[in-house]
Amino acid sequence: MRNIKLTIEYDGGRYLGWQRLGNSDKTIQGKIEHLLTQLTGEKIEIIGSGRTDAGTHARGQVANFKTHADIELTELLATLNHQLPRDIVIKNVEEAPERFHARYNATGKQYSYYVWNDTIPSAFERNYSFHYPQPLDLNLMNEACEKLLGKHDFIGFSALKKTKKSTTRTIEKLSIEQEGSLLHVTFVGDGFLHKMVRIIMGTLLEIGTGVLPVSIIDEVLENKVRATAGETVPAQGLFLDEVYYR
């Protein structure tokens, strides 16, 4: 039995997210599984490093699947990229150890969120950033970023309800770079809760416009109440950049 690791890039704009949904053909996982099943003659199920929501993009999603098929990796890579929709690209195919699991073995992830901060929208960035026309105080936003670094219970910055699983995560890096009207916010951590990046991003923007004080970060971390944090920003500005493994 072979264990094959895929590194995947996709534009999530026209999909319902990563995870397979019943008979829908509008998911990334579903598209890739359907094609692999045809190519191998086996019922293939792929395991992703995690779910991405509808509209979210990826530069480095990782998945694995097991197969008995004796297909060469170069041939598999070429065939997948020839037959998949053009907005899904397999960047790399490799043999993985038998016990490799794309989700359970992941030690961290990097996400990017892009904001088009200008009174005039962008015709080119509209599908890959959130248009936010209000002026932003980056000093206040950076101050808030500092408060979010480290190990915390982030349930107040997530869309999760009560859960028996741990909601403690560690953010190792949270930085803001500006190039003209485009803001690039980088998140690096050992894991992220459902919609955590988008809710933190919405909170940072409201801090940057003065709608919320910087102290709201401490308040949400302490009271763990989602309603205290900022709005959830749209998915089109979010990219999964990389998944880390030992």
- Lowest mean per-residue pLDDT among 39-48, 160-169, 176-185, 204-213: 160-169
Between strands 168-179 and 150-153, the pairing is antiparallel
The predicted structure's pLDDT at residue 162: 77
The predicted structure's pLDDT at residue 148: 98
The radius of gyration computed from the CA coordinates of the chain, to the nearest angstrom, equals 19
Question: Two tokens at 234?
Answer: 């749209």
Question: Two tokens at 86?
Answer: 């053009």
The per-residue pLDDT for range 206-235, each reduced to its tens digit, is 999 999 999 999 999 999 999 999 999 999
The whole-model pTM stands at 0.95
Confidence of residue 24 (pLDDT cuts 50, 70, 90): confident
In angstroms, the CA 164 to CA 14 distance is 33
The residues assigned a catalytic role are 53
Q: How far is CA 199 from the centre of its chain?
A: 13
The predicted structure's pLDDT at residue 25: 82
Domains contained in the chain, CATH given: 2-95 (3.30.70.580), 107-245 (3.30.70.660)
Residue type (1 letter), 98: E
Residue 23: is its pLDDT beyond 80? Answer: no
